[in-house]
Every structure is written in C-alpha cells, then in structure tokens.
Amino acid sequence: MSDFAVEPSSHMSVILDLTPAQWYLSSLPKNEYPLSFRSFLSQTLAFLNSHLASKHENTLAVYGALPGKSVILYSSTDSSVGQDETVADANSYQPFKTVDSVVASQITDELDALGDSDEEAPCQLVGALTKALCHINRIMNPNFTTGASDAPQPTREPRIIILSVSPDLSTSYIPIMNSIFSAQKLKVTIDVCKIFGPDAVFLQQAAHLTGGSYIYLERRDAYLQHLMMTFLSPRSVRGILAVPTQEKIDFRAACFCHKTIVDIGFVCSVCLSIFCQPVPVCSTCRTKFPMKTLQRLNASRPSFPPQPVVRSMSAARTPTTSTPPGTRTPSVSNHHADRTTSISSSASAKVNGSSSVAVGNGMTP
C-alpha cells in the first residue's frame, strides 16, 4: 500500500523546428508526400495531448527553434509561460485546450515578429536544446538548495523530442556535443524525428549516444502514426515494445577551424581538437607542431578530391574521439626522433572506400 511505489510520471520536452523557408520547401507539391506546416502543427498537437492523456501527472514543455532565436512556447510546470485565460467549454478537456491554444498563438506571434533579415539567420536549435536541458534539470532537482530535497519524489523519465526540418548547422557541432554530454549525465533520452531535408549527422549522434531513436520520416503522410508508435512510449514501456533505432549512424565530426564536416581530420595530440588540414599551431591549446611533421602530413593527404560523402556508416565503428588502436604504434616508435604529430588515416576506412575521420595520435611535446 505504499504511496510511492507507483508508476513514474514522465516529462517530455518537444523542440519544434520553426524555420519558415524549410517549411515552405516541405509543403511544395513536388515532394512525394508534401507536409505543410499547418498539418504538421495539428498532428503534433494531437501527439502532445496524447502524452498528457497518458497520465494525469505527465508534464510537457514545448520549445520553438526559430531563425536566430529560440523560445519556450508552453510549459505545464511553469504557469508563467504563455498562460492565457482560455474560456472553458464543455466539449474539451481543459489542459488539452490550453496546450493547443497557447502553442498555436505563441507560434503565430513569434513568426509574425520575424523580420525579413531574420529569416536568413541560422536556426537556433542548440539554444532550444540547452533551454530544454536546463528546464529538465530544474524539475528533476526541485529545491536543490533548500533542505527539502530529501522528500520522496516520484522519479520522472525525462526525454527530449526534436522535430527537425532544417539541415545540420556545422557551426553548432561543439555546443550540440556538449548538450549531448549533459543529457547523458542527466539521463535524458533524446529522440529525433527528421521530417524534411537531408539526414542530420549531429542529431543522429545525439539520439544514439543518449539511447533515443532517430527516425528519418519517409512516409510523411503517416507522420502522426510514427509519432505515436515511436516517440510516445516512456522508457519503461520501451523495454517491452521495441521502437525502431537507427542501424547506421554517421559519426563524422566538424572541424574546429572552418566548422565543416570532415571525412578525414587532423587531431591535436594534446587537446584532441579536430582540424580539416594540418596546422602549425593548435588554435585551442596553442601547442606548436614542428615543420617537418606538417610537411609530411601535407604530403600524405589524399590528392584526389574527397569522395562523395557516404551518408552513413556502420554503428559499430569507433566514435571520432577515440583513437583507432592501430594508429598509435608508429608514433610510439618515433618517440625520441622528433616531436612528431603523426596523423594517418585508418587503413580500414581507405580499403572499404567509405569516408571516415581518421584519427592519429601524436606525441605530447
């Protein structure tokens, strides 16, 4: 009869990608399954209501990632956000009605406020993601400073769902990676539904590293059904009902110097910063590399233009930040010769023709 051995309530943060240009492209009838923003919004709202319907205590927060800014559109835990006094009516459940009207009106306000110049700005997905993480941190640790935190709290299962339409922004590689690490620490699952546009490399990694699922929506006429079957279930149910996870993940990283996604990168042996070409001085930790090494590395770079990017590679491959074991050996043998930073591409990647970041490890100066 204990009161706290009950099914945990779950918290869901949803990030809507509100880039007008991408939504225009998505609604064009030349697409196989055009999806307009209006129909996207109504299906998403039905999904949000289904989450609230599942359990009385479930909480919800909705964020919008707009060009140049990110906003919170709705939060069921914080009554100060966009709570307008909706008139009650007998035909709808009040919490659902509040979500629908608040989210719709906030989106309209935000999109109206966008100027022509703003629309060129990149989509602030990272801003929305970090806001969502901060919010989750707050509701997971209420009254952290006061002594009341030892009161029994029903464990929530927090998760973040990103509904993305815009392509990867390579400048946001580092902040996204940092968000992923904090999500891992908070035990937050990040689910990604890629509705339109090319596969998002960083979001794939986000879903993979936090145990969520990444779905590239091909049948966009079945958007709501995808949401229901894949993203509605809390973590406890996912142990029973299998949800699709991606088989192949693109683990490529972006370089720190030009923020481009690289197939072959050069890694500083001291701080592990990634560069797209050999540099004499690491821009992050100011380590100087000898001239001889640079020349050798430049000589070893493939002269042929980079092969067309293979969209994904096997999930079993080592992530970029770890060093393939085979590449470590030459640098050890060079230990006394000079302060070499040897960077070589991994043999396996060359042989099977797929592109990958080849990480070599050098000596510490």
Q: Does 151 bind another protein (CB under 8 A)?
A: yes
Q: Does 55 bind another protein (CB under 8 A)?
A: yes
CA distance 81 to 103: 10
Nearest Cα residue to 191 out of 234, 252, 153: 234
Give the tokens for residue 39.
Answer: 């129909």
Q: Does 94 bind another protein (CB under 8 A)?
A: yes
The region that residue 15 occupies, defined by phi over 0 for left and psi between -120 and 50 for alpha, beta otherwise, is beta
Choose between 97 and 350: whose C-beta lies nearer to another protein: 97
CB of 10 to another protein, least distance (A): 10
Q: Does 81 bind another protein (CB under 8 A)?
A: no
CB of 11 to another protein, least distance (A): 15
Choose between 71 and 99: whose C-beta lies nearer to another protein: 99
DSSP calls for 31-100: SSS---HHHHHHHHHHHHHHHHHH-TT-EEEEEEEEBTEEEEEEESS-TTSS---PPP-TTS-HHHHHHH
Q: Does 119 bind another protein (CB under 8 A)?
A: no
Compute the CA torsion angle 80, 83, 89, 95 (nearest 10 deg). Answer: -60
Contact at 8 Å (CB) between 362 and 340?
yes
Which residue's entry shows tokens 């060009």? Answer: 67
Near another protein by CB under 8 A: residue from 27, 39, 54, 323: 54
Segment interacting with another protein (CB under 8 A) among 124-132, 239-247, 332-340, 341-349: 239-247
Q: Give Cα 334 distance to the centre of its chain.
A: 39
Segment interacting with another protein (CB under 8 A) among 5-13, 74-82, 132-140, 196-204: 5-13
Segment interacting with another protein (CB under 8 A) among 82-90, 177-185, 245-253, 322-330: 82-90
Segment interacting with another protein (CB under 8 A) among 95-103, 196-204, 246-254, 350-358: 95-103
Q: How many residues bind another protein (CB under 8 A)?
A: 42
Q: Does 247 bind another protein (CB under 8 A)?
A: no
Q: Does 92 bind another protein (CB under 8 A)?
A: yes
- Helix residue ranges, H only, 82-167: 94-113, 125-140
Near another protein by CB under 8 A: residue from 80, 112, 145, 240: 240
CA distance 82 to 254: 37
Q: CA-based diameter of the chain, in Å?
A: 83
Contact at 8 Å (CB) between 60 and 75?
yes
Buried b (16+ CB within 10 A) or exposed e, 184-221: eeeebbbbbbbbbbebbbbbbbbbbbbbbbbbbbeebe
Q: Does 288 bind another protein (CB under 8 A)?
A: no
Choose between 177 and 228: whose C-beta lies nearer to another protein: 228
CA distance 252 to 170: 11
Segment interacting with another protein (CB under 8 A) among 50-58, 246-254, 258-266, 339-347: 50-58
Choose between 88 and 299: whose C-beta lies nearer to another protein: 88
Segment interacting with another protein (CB under 8 A) among 87-95, 177-185, 211-219, 311-319: 87-95
Near another protein by CB under 8 A: residue from 91, 117, 146, 322: 91
DSSP conformation class of 182: H
Q: Does 56 bind another protein (CB under 8 A)?
A: yes
Q: Does 239 bind another protein (CB under 8 A)?
A: yes
Segment interacting with another protein (CB under 8 A) among 55-63, 68-76, 297-305, 331-339: 55-63
Residues at the interface with another protein (CB under 8 A): 1-3, 5-8, 46, 49-50, 53-57, 88-94, 96-97, 100, 150-152, 154, 224-225, 228-229, 232-234, 236-237, 239-242
